[in-house]
Amino acid sequence: MKKGRDVKFVIYQVLYIFVVCVISIKGADLTLEEVLDAKQVVKKTYADSLKKYIDSILALGLIPSINIDTNKKYTPEDMEKIMAELNQLKKDMPPPIVQQEQMRINVERTVPKIEKEPEKIKKATVQGVELTQYSVSKIKNPYSETLVLTADGKTLASIAPQQTASILLGGESSVTFRVGDATDTKPTKQKQAPKVDIQKVGPGGGDASLRSVQNSIGFRVTIISSNPGDLSVTISGPVKQQQVSATVFDVTLTLLGSEAAFDAWSKGKEAPYRATFTVSVKDKYNPKFSISQIGVFTFGKW
């Protein structure tokens, strides 16, 4: 409100002084015949300054009503004093911040916002995945859409965005990944059948005693497989076993506990004597990969 009153005050004062200047130049009688002495005429610079004020006010669309006392005359000294007051008042007036802010907002509204379209998936590639037949593979969907896995005309899994699923494969030769309209086909790897390696590490033979054989580890059994987690291993017979790692076992004979038991057991048999154990390996997902192998302890006396 204060700013509005200041603007009106300036407008009224400028228009008032402009008329006074005219009166000072032509006199109270506004005719074209009377001309004042050159010494009493207001300087042209005052009139030019007043014209600039008038133009600025009209540019704002402000047209005030004017009441002028035409009986009063002003000297050039009076004009200099009034112009100095008006210049100081102009300096004290704040700039039209609201209008500038409104203009900035209007310009921003006219600028269209360009929304970036989401990039389309060209190929449904899943990195770091090796698909092996007759095994379980963990697959993470890295996309923002559902990942669908199909093979041999059937759906293996539908994985939600950013989720992980365990996929059991059979004998499929390839698997197709699909995200929206994008696809990618990966071949599967053939699973290798497991192998059993039985190595003799303790005493044995026709000259070895049963006591020495039973007091030492006789064999080390190693299961050779690229998917040991798919296997279950069983070692059976008159033995005890110690698991060294996921695929390595140490085997010790525990056949007889005394000489009398040995004599009873060996009666009717010919040396060297034999005691066997069996290593059975079964694949959880492919029964065709199940195998068995026999290990033999030998000794010739108690």
- DSSP 3-state assignment of 200? strand
Chain segment 190-213, per-residue pLDDT in tens: 999 999 999 999 999 999 999 999
Q: What is the CATH number of the domain that holds 246?
A: 2.60.40
Do residues 48 and 148 both lie within one domain?
no
Q: Is 122 part of a structural domain of the chain? A: no
Q: What is the pLDDT of residues 124-151, one digit of tens each?
A: 677 778 899 999 989 999 999 999 999 9
Burial of 44 (0-12, 13-18, 19+ CB in 10 A): exposed
Whole-structure pTM value:
0.56
Same domain flag for 272 and 293 = yes
Q: Are residues 201 and 223 in the same domain?
A: yes
Q: Does residue 249 share a domain with residue 157? A: no
Query: Per residue in 244-273, pLDDT tens?
Result: 999 999 999 999 999 999 999 999 999 999
Look at residue 283 in the predicted model and tell me its pLDDT. 95
- 65 and 84 in a single domain? The answer is yes
Q: Are residues 212 and 294 located together in one domain of the fold?
A: yes
Quick one: which of 270, 298, 300 has its CA closest to 207?
300
In a shared domain, residues 163 and 83: no
Please tell me whether residues 208 and 226 are part of one structural domain.
Answer: yes
Structural domain range at position 291: 195-299
Q: Is residue 117 part of a domain?
A: no
d(CA 237, CA 274): 12
Task: Using the predicted structure, report yes or no on whether residue 174 has a pLDDT greater than 90.
Answer: yes
pLDDT tens-digit profile of 9-23?
Answer: 666 666 667 666 656
Number of domains in the chain: 3
Residue 172 lies in a domain: yes
